[in-house]
Every structure is written in structure tokens, then in C-alpha cells.
Amino acid sequence: MFGQYKGLRRELYVLFWGKAATNMGAMIWPMLTLILSNKLGMSAEEIARITIAMGIIQFPANLLGGKLADHCNKKNLIVVCDLVTVTCYLTAAFLPVSMTQIMLFFTAGVFQTMENPSYDALVADLSTAENREKAYSLIYLGLNLGLILAPSIGGILFQHHLGLAYAIDGLTTLSSTILILLFIKDIAPVKEEKNIYEEAKDTQSTWKILSGQKVILLFLICWAVYQFSYAQFNFLIPLNMESLYGGQGAVYFGLMTSLNGLVVIVGTPLLTKWAAGLGDTTKLLAGQILVSISLSMYIFIQGIVPLYYVSMILFTIGEVMTTLGSYPYLTRRIPASHRGRISSVSNIFLGAAMYYSQWKIGAVLETHTIMTAWQCVAAAGVLGLILYLVLIKADRKVYPLLYKK
């Protein structure tokens, strides 16, 4: 099952362990909604406003990160951003629970956002068109490897030792930075005969690339609608748990997040191998269907704890399928010269969808029941399904060479 990852560039294995080390301490972001709600006493709408405001700040950081990724040393950019992130986490560890602590957390998030295009572009640079799914699968596996225990431990530390969770976040990120600094030596792109759609177009702007390939814009819209639903993993689900179980909701949500990580560890290599013969768009459609079904279940399973975990398993399988389809889909259809910049644009689409989702669902919760909110999420899932069906038809017409055996 894991043998399929043999033969990749050494640097990809370093990035894998770097992601794993960072996420072994990822205890704050799964609990952010609960920190704002339970510790700082904010309503759902106030939480949405805070996260949206902070998210808007990340948009220019994303664009800057994409620009730098295509014109600077990607490894050095990742290291610098990580060092700022570590400083913010370790400083927050010594402060009481407050908005100052939250601001430091969001500052760290801005610099992590800035480095994301470099990570995405580096994985594409270090892999070939044939093994790109395996490369992204490996990095995604590392990202989730640390999430098996981190959220559960974060849930335990939530009540009385939140500062320790910040400290662990900072130290694990530092260990990841040291790995990358010491062991990534060669970041030269793989030399191969690229497909016609990946040919470099250095003289063209990002907007000209996107406006000339409207199917890519359609894909980004599909992905954004998917993200509208997916964002409820860290927003509506924890609020739902708190409304049903109070402070114990953090423990349930931590266990659900750890289950998410565990299913990723087991499911990613299995699904990578099983879905190897499926097209990118087929994987994307499967992911949309599974995530939509899993979240729609909350309309019927309120108070039935075992079914929360069934829903999470379906959700995670859909998440894995979307990951296996999305980044390979994008990198096979855009010029290699614009990977960083278009990655940043895609991150902006996803970020905008996530923050709009939180604002919209937060507003629904202020005036309606949590059941109405879940019905809105289910409706978004149906819309996403329709859009992906349209994308599949359009993609075959625009990129016919990718469908030839």
C-alpha cells in the first residue's frame, strides 16, 4: 500500500515529514471557533465577522506569496515564513486568553498562507506528470499524519492549559523548519517533456492565462462551492457540538477531528492506488458527492453520537478524493511558469468561499435554528454537484489530449 510512494524525489519525502511535524502540533486551529465562543463569549455571527475580517487580510498575502513563489527561491520563502509563525506561536503561549493572543495566531496564519503557494508549486516542480497524484497524496498524508492525536490533545488542553497548546504548535513548526532547512538541497524542477498545456508562458500575465482558459475559472468556482460546504467542518460542526454538549463538545469535536486524520492515513494510500485509473474530474465529482452526503446527515442525526463518526468517515473519504483530483487537475492544465500565482488565486477562491460560508451560516444561526443552517449546507452541496457535472463536460472539450489513453 505504501510501496507506491517509492521512487519520488528525496525532497518530496522531506516535505512530507515537514508537513507531518508541523501538524503534530496543530492544536489551535481546530479549536478556534470554540476558543472564540467558549473562552471569549462571542456569538456565531461575531465569530464569523472576526474570521472574515482576518481572512480578508490573508488575500493580499496569498497573492504576494504566489508572486514570490514564481520568482524567488521557494525553500527560502518557506523557511522565513515559518520562522515568523514560530515567533508568533511562542509569544502567544505566554499570554492569557485574549484577542491579543488571537491576533498573534492570525498573524502566524497570514505567513503560513503566504508560504502555501510555494509548497504547492514545489510539489509540482519536483514531480512528473505521471507521479503527480502520488506526490500530492504523499504531502497530504504527511499533513494529516500529525492530526491523528493533535486535535484530541488540544481538546484535553482546551479548558485549563491552552497556552501549552500554543507552545506545542510553535515547537513542532520549528522542527519542520529545521528539517526543510537542513535536508532540502535541490529544488530544480524535474526535466521532462511536458504536455502541451504545461508549457511555460513567461510573458503572459496571470489574468491573461485565466481569461484564456475559462474552464479553469469554472473549476475554481466548483472548488469554491465545495469549500463552502467543507468549511463547516471547523465552524458549524463545533458550534453544533457545543450547543448539544456544552464544554464536552470540544472533546467530541477533537475526537472527530482525530478520526478525520486517522481515516486520511489509512484511506489516502488505498484511494490513491484504487483511483489511479480515474480521471481528475471523476475524483472531484466523487469527493463532492461524499462530502455533501456526510454534512447533510446532520439534518437527521442530532444527538446520535455514533452517527457523527459515520458522517466523519464519509466526509474524510470525500476530502481525500477531492485532494487527489484538485491539485493534479490544476497543474496539468496551467503553464509551469504560473504555478505559484495560480495556486495563490485558487487559495483566494477557497478562502473567500470559506469566509463567506462562515458569515452566511453565522447569520442564519442568529435568526434561525441550527437545522436551517444544515439545510443551507445541503443545498450548497447540490449546487456543487451540478457545477461539477458541467465542468466534466466542458473539460473534455477543452483538454482532449488529457483524456487519451
Task: Report yes or no: 50 and 36 within 8 Å, Cβ to Cβ.
Answer: yes
What pLDDT, on the 0 to 100 scale, is given for residue 203?
67
Q: What is the pLDDT of residues 41-61, one digit of tens each?
A: 888 778 878 877 877 787 788
Contact 187, 122 (CB under 8 A): yes
CA angle at residue 402 from 398 to 405, to 5 degrees?
A: 135
Which uninterrupted H or E stretch holds 28? none
Distance CA 48, CA 358 (A): 5
Q: According to the model, what pLDDT value does residue 113 have? A: 82
The pLDDT of residue 193 is 60
- Domains, the chain, in order of start with CATH, read 7-183 (1.20.1250.20), 207-397 (1.20.1250.20)
Which residue carries 496551467 as its cell?
334
Nine-digit cell string for 47: 465569530
Long-range contact set of residues 3-7: C-beta below 8 Å, sequence gap at least 24: 4/134, 4/269, 4/272, 4/273, 5/134, 5/137, 5/138, 5/269, 7/131
Report pLDDT digits (tens) over 21-37: 777 766 777 677 778 88
Which triple of cell numbers denotes residue 138? Answer: 504523499
What's the CA gap between 152 and 122, in Å, rounded? 31
Q: For 72, phi and psi rounded to 5 degrees?
A: -125, 175
- Does the pTM surpass 0.85? The reply is no
Contact (Cβ atoms closer than 8 angstroms) between residue 126 and residue 189? yes
41: left (phi over 0), alpha (psi -120 to 50) or beta: left
- What's the confidence (pLDDT) of residue 189? 67
Residue (of 145, 126, 17) closest to 74 by Cα position: 126
- pLDDT at site 229: 92
Instruction: Count CA within 13 A, CB hemisphere, residue 315.
Output: 26
Q: For cell 514531480, what's the residue?
A: 127
For position 196, what pLDDT does the model report? 72
Q: Is 332 left (phi over 0), alpha (psi -120 to 50) or beta?
A: alpha
- As a whole number of Å, the end-to-end CA separation of the chain is 25
Residue pair 315/264 in contact (Cβ under 8 Å)? The answer is: no
Contact (CB, 8 A) for 166 and 90: yes
Q: Single out the residue of 274, 312, 306, 275 nearest to residue 293, CA to CA.
A: 312
CA 170/CA 112 separation, integer angstroms: 12
Write out residues in the chain with pLDDT < 70, as ranges: 1, 25-26, 30, 147, 189-195, 197-198, 200, 202-203, 405
What is the CB neighbour count within 10 angstroms for residue 345? Answer: 23
Largest Cα separation within the chain, whole Å, is 59
Rg (CA), the chain: 20
- CA 377, CA 372: separation in Å to the nearest integer? 9
